[in-house]
Structure 1
Amino acid sequence: MTITVLTLLKRREGMSKADFIAYYETKHRLIGEKVLAGWASRYERLHLHPLDGQTLDHDFDVVLEIDFPDQATCDACFAAMADPATMDEIVEDELQLFDRSRMRTYAVERHRSAL
């Protein structure tokens, strides 16, 4: 059974949406690929653009989805990421990109309709 972890992320104050996406996709993504390799089966970033064109204070800028083949693999990956050197690398780069106080991570329970 696939396990999906979803994280909502907000860019740091003063960073434009274009600069945020460029940094994420050319730099931060590479750290994600490195730490998730061998554990995750999918690492996808869904950059959000409000349909009404307005950015509100409570909005997030990107939804991160990561799939794992099972709960044991997910748990092992997060345990490996907790290694101090790995965590230092992740946090140091996150400070360039995110408002870390706004990060929210969830386990996903899917219910799909057949249309």
Structure 2
Amino acid sequence: MFKLMYLLKRKPGTSLEEFIHHYENSHAKIGKRIFDGKAVRYMRRYLRPMDDFIALDGPGVQYDVAMECWFEDRAHFDAVVAASSEPEILKLILEDEERFMDRTTRAVYVLEEYETELAPVEPASGVA
């Protein structure tokens, strides 16, 4: 499995709710058009800040969404890159991103997963 993560930030002056609304009602539809038949999974994880009890003086909010896309293999990802590079599709993507994203702060990563097996979950205290 070949997995990618894009970290994206909203445009200044755009609320998180406006950002989510636009992504889900416009940009995700463009993504579906591109990823259908090529990707295994396409998801957005919207990031809501919370206090960091370990590093209270951290850098603050840097990204608003982590978009993940999973592919069977690198060849399927390459097919998406080729499709996204078509002038008509690229124009559609860029024009939509310009409406709600700060394109200067994006980061793209290939995900390499390691998982630690954990013991079964214990009942929470006070829960029957």
CA distance in 1, matches of 2:35, 2:80: 7
> d(CA) in 2 for partners of 1:58 and 1:25?
21
- 1:102 equivalent to 2:101? Answer no
Identity %: 37
Query: Counterpart of 1:60?
Result: 63
Per-residue deviation, residues 17-61 of structure 1 (Å, max 9, x unmatched): 1111111111111001111111111000000001129xx665100
Counterpart mapping for 1:1-115 below 5 A: 2-52=1-51, 59-115=62-118
RMSD after superposition:
1.5
Q: Classify the secondary structure of the residue corresponding to 1:67.
A: strand
TM-score w.r.t. length of structure 1: 0.92
Secondary structure of 2:104's aligned partner: helix
- SS at the partner of 1:50? coil
Matched residue of 1:29: which SS?
helix
Give the aligned residue type for 2:47. L
- In the alignment, structure 1 segments of 5+ residues that lack a partner are none
- Unpaired stretches in structure 2, ≥5 consecutive residues: 53-58, 119-128
TM-score between both structures, scaled by the size of structure 2: 0.83
